[in-house]
Amino acid sequence: MQGVPIRRYVRTGAECARRFISDRHGVTAIEYGLIAALIAVVIVGAVTIVGTDLNAIFTTIGNDL
């Protein structure tokens, strides 16, 4: 490694940014992650709405007994 300029081994910030922007390997994983997050939000919303109604129904049944 003697006599080899260190610049050859060190990338500049602009080179790294260019490479990161042009890299498409993780795009599919990100898309699946966004879809999973959306599904999770829908499930939480549905459980919240249905859970409130279910609680009211069981409270009524419990009071009638």
Alpha-carbon distance of 22 to 15, in angstroms, equals 11
Condensed to tens digits (0 to 9), the pLDDT of residues 23-56 reads 777 778 888 999 999 999 999 999 998 888 888 8
What are the residue ranges spanned by the domains of the chain?
A: 24-64
Written as six digits, the tokens of 47 are: 């459980």
φ, ψ of residue 11 to 5 degrees: the values are -90, 145
> What integer pLDDT is reported at residue 39 of this predicted model?
97
Measured CA distances, 27 to 4, 13, 38, 63, 64 (Å)? 36, 22, 17, 54, 55
- Say what the pTM is: 0.51
Top pLDDT among 64 and 19 is at 64
> What integer pLDDT is reported at residue 26 of this predicted model?
73
